[in-house]
Amino acid sequence: MLATAALAVSAIAVLPQEASAQEIQLTGPLAGAPSHKGLRQYRKGRFEIAPTVSFSLLDEYRRTILVGAKLQYNITDWLGIGVWGAYGLVSMPTNLTDQISETSAARDNALGGSNPRTAVNVAQAKYGGFTDQTAKMQWVAAPQIQIVPFRGKLALFQKLFIDTDAYLHGGLAFVGLQERGDCVQCGDQTVNTFERQSRLAIAPTFGLGLNFYPSNFISFGFEYRALPFSWNRAGFDTKGGAPDGRFPDNQVNSEDRTFKFNQMVSVHIGFSLPTKPKLSK
């Protein structure tokens, strides 16, 4: 009987008890103090102009290098509005484009003229060849906003420290393109059959980036940007025919555009005005 009673008492003793939290009260000089004081606000109330160089990614037919600039006003240290613009300074054919051009030229020479099976899609060398019909991204202009959810310091070997922040950006992009123009009898090759024409594409743009602040006036950083929209990058006839417009129709027009998740990375160096940032209270 005594053993049973002792066992019951032991079981009650080990039962979990309700936990309670105790509020920690700060006293002395830290009582009521903010979480930080004298924080450099590199963005708040400052204009920034940042020359940029951008490189397109995952291109099928042409690689583009764009040079431009970003102009921005930062309303707060975490929110800014501005515009980014760039011009396609360099447009280089990819290895795939070179291979298609060489193969097509060799086949046309062997046949003494255009191959009927590819006449709609690939220009003969005397009309510029395949390279000259591939689309180009000529320029981009994008009003946008920036949101800065993270900031801190980057340490290198625990000796060199630099202020940095990570940001998200989004807006609307106006993209100037050169794309193969519309044609009806595309198999009857002429100089105009494969001529490129300019057009404007409008697309959302978004991405993320990092900024580093080695001084109060100058910053530098890296940025990723996406611009998804449809365009006919190769100048091919791929759609418009029966059934349901999913097969070639021997014409080149807007129906032949295909969706592409266009991407690029940029590097920039920024200059801020006023030249000295504000300090938090």
Q: Is residue 21 pLDDT above 70, yes or no?
A: no
Give pLDDT, residue 89: 97
Q: Is residue 146 pLDDT above 50, yes or no?
A: yes
Q: How confident is the model at residue 213 (pLDDT cuts 50, 70, 90)?
A: very high
Q: What is the mean pLDDT of residues 230-234?
A: 96
Q: What is the mean pLDDT of residues 155-173?
A: 91
Give pLDDT, residue 155: 83
8 A C-beta contact, residue 210 and residue 168:
no
Show contacts of 240-246: CB within 8 Å, 24+ apart. none
**Which of 20-24, 73-77, 109-113 is predicted least confidently?**
20-24
Q: What is the mean pLDDT of residues 48-56?
A: 98
Instruction: Tell me the C-alpha distance between 130 and 124, whole Å.
Output: 7
CB count within 10 Å of CB 195 equals 16
Give pLDDT, residue 157: 79
**Which of 38-42, 53-57, 121-125, 207-211 is predicted least confidently?**
38-42
Q: Is 64 or 116 the better-scoring residue by pLDDT?
A: 64
- Among 223, 270, 265, 220, CA closest to 70: 270
Q: Is residue 151 pLDDT above 70, yes or no?
A: yes
Q: What is the mean pLDDT of residues 227-251?
A: 88
Tell me, yes or no, if the pTM score tops 0.75: yes
End-to-end CA distance of the chain: 71
Bridge partners of 168? 147, 208
Give pLDDT, residue 206: 98
Contacts with 257 (C-beta within 8 Å, 6 or more apart), sequence order: 230, 231, 232
Bridge partners of 161? 155
Give pLDDT, residue 113: 75
Q: Over pLDDT 70: what percentage of the chain?
A: 86
Instruction: Locate the DSSP E strands across the chain.
Output: 40-41, 47-57, 62-74, 79-93, 136-156, 160-180, 196-213, 218-231, 240-241, 247-248, 258-273, 278-279
Residue 58: CA atoms inside 13 Å, Cβ hemisphere, count?
10
Q: Is residue 2 pLDDT above 50, yes or no?
A: no
State whether residue 275 is helix, strand or coil: coil
- Among 148, 167, 168, 171, CA closest to 227: 171
Residue 161 Cα distances to 49, 227, 244, 258, angstroms: 24, 34, 61, 46
Instruction: Tell me the C-alpha distance between 47 and 37, whole Å.
Output: 23
Q: Over pLDDT 90: what percentage of the chain?
A: 59
Which residue ranges form the domains of the chain, and what is each CATH number? 37-279 (2.40.160.20)
Q: Is residue 183 pLDDT above 70, yes or no?
A: yes
